[in-house]
A and B are shown apart, each in its own frame.
Chain A
Amino acid sequence: MKRVATPMTTKTHKSGEFVRSGSVPDASPADGAGEPPEDRLGVFAGVSPLERLEIDLLLEAVFRHTGNDFRGYAFSSLRRRLKKRLEGEGLRTFSGLQDLVLHDDAAMGRLLRDMSVSVTGMFRDPSFFLAFRTKVVPILRTYPFFRIWHAGCSTGEEVYATAILLEEEGLLDRARLYATDMSADAIERAKSGIFPIARMREYTANYLHAGGQRSFSEYYTAHYDAALFDPRLRRNVLFAQHNLATDTSFSEFNVVLCRNVLIYFSKPLKERVLGLFEESLAALGLLCLGRRESLRFTSAEHAYEEFDAKERIYRRRR
């Protein structure tokens, strides 16, 4: 364990901005970043060594210039996102993209946004939230006070979903929700509680399938193409910037939700983050992963027992 106890990154940034070189020092590189690329990424027979070099250099440049560390990301989805940005900028090589982003802040902002903001939604996988309501809530009810960490919350939809669920169960006032993401931009949007109205029909259906007890429209007011969520839902939510690849644990939690975030990480980084969760979970605390994620292929497997195998809810052993 070579983790340094640094406070959670709570600096806020204007939308689209990024952490500058000056604030990098407390960021330690992701585990595995020091290994040779071959071990870290495996041999990709269809990618030329030159392109691999260019991608490695680009990621290194982005890290050293902005503190955003993508070096431990799964190469397949990382390359896909980078390729999309390359095409978006009308460029041919990753060296060209590196040149652009180092000298053009707006282009760097676009790259970081493409790399870090993930697609999310409210009550995605309704059966998970139903299981949360019927199996996790009874446990939470036994605590006078509890903490939940939404790790990698992106634009916050699942945080609001959880807040709604806890409100309906009469538990929101006993809860503290910590919602963190590496992207300052995403955190700002999460704080605003404003989501596209176009998705409310889908969310309403999900909400009902997830055991919702009221009319979903009670929770927001429509304003042109935006749905403004009731600010009271976030009365016990703390939004903050935190990077799973470089920052440390910052509290003890009863539940950690990290759904469809680890899929973007390579195995060493995945292991690092799972270590972070292990440190952060109270005894018998619950770890919730995405529907097709599991601890099966990781070293964290033995630290947990399956609490709900189908919904990928794990309980930390004592």
Chain B
Amino acid sequence: MNKPKLVVVGTSAGGLRALERILGHIPSAFPLPIVAVQHRSKESTDAYPAVVGATTRLLVQEAEDGEPLLPGRVYVGPPDYHVLVEPGRIVLSTDDPVNFSRPSIDVLFESAADAYGAGLVAVLLTGANADGARGLKRVKEAGGIAIVQDPHTAESPEMPAAGIAGAPVDMILPLGAIADEIVRRSAL
């Protein structure tokens, strides 16, 4: 079994609460970097990383181009940029929106699958569209782990439901159990 090296998280509507809930349950000594993308408007506030960071002991920062990925850090996608991952670092792009979204979850997941293959854990949470489904499929093809929030427990079930319909996901879990599962896998 491949040891996970990176966690990526995608979410949309209802995502802030879901992210807070998960990140709040991850210990500060978490050994992997986490890259999280939530659909945000272009005019989204600069305070977003601080808001996400308020309920977690992990250091949350807005992703910057070329930034090295460090363990125990959470990198959130800036508004109006796609976030891509390369081995050990972040790359941004201003290419056209995907699924009407920039950042797009598919773009993050697909690039992370390319870069990390079987060393990737991808988590798809609440959302009101199907972004992320194609990315999750790619994650599975590259040998990574796909975890999806149980649509019945999601504020908006469409996104996790589309993820489950599109790929042989590994686990479908309620929000409260996702953090534990990520921590458990990171310790493998």
Contacts and interface: CB of A to CB of B under 8 A. Distances in A.
Interface of A: 41-47, 74-77, 79-81, 118-120, 260, 262-264, 267, 270, 290-294, 296-298
Contacts of A45: 87, 115-119, 142
**Which range contains the number of B residues in contact with the other chain?**
35 or more
10 contacts: A42-B86, A44-B115, A75-B86, A76-B84, A76-B86, A120-B94, A270-B66, A293-B66, A293-B92, A296-B64
Given A76-B91, A80-B107, A263-B91, A46 B86 contact: no
Given A118-B94, A119-B94, A294-B64, A76 B85 contact: yes
A80 B93 CA distance: 10
B65 interface: yes
Chain A interface SS verdict (over half): loop
Interface in B112-154: 113-120, 138, 142-144
Given A46-B117, A292-B65, A293-B92, 4 more contacts: A44-B117, A77-B82, A80-B110, A120-B94
A263 B65 contact: yes
A79 B87 CA distance: 14
B67 interface: yes
A80 B115 contact: no
A260 B49 CA distance: 21
B180 interface: no
A201 B79 CA distance: 20
A213 to B, nearest CB: 22
B88 A42 contact: yes
Chain B interface SS verdict (over half): mixed
Interface of B: 62-68, 78, 81-82, 84-89, 91-96, 107, 110-111, 113-120, 138, 142-144
A275 to B, nearest CB: 16
Contacts of B92: 260, 263, 292-293
Contacts of B93: 77, 80, 263-264
Contacts of A291: 78
A260 B95 CA distance: 10
Contacts of A41: 86
B5 to A, nearest CB: 9
A48 to B, nearest CB: 10
Contacts of A260: 92, 94
Given A44-B115, A46-B114, A80-B84, A298 B107 contact: no
B143 A292 contact: no
A296 B63 CA distance: 13
Contacts of B67: 296-297
A292 B81 contact: yes
A46 B84 CA distance: 14
A293 B65 contact: yes
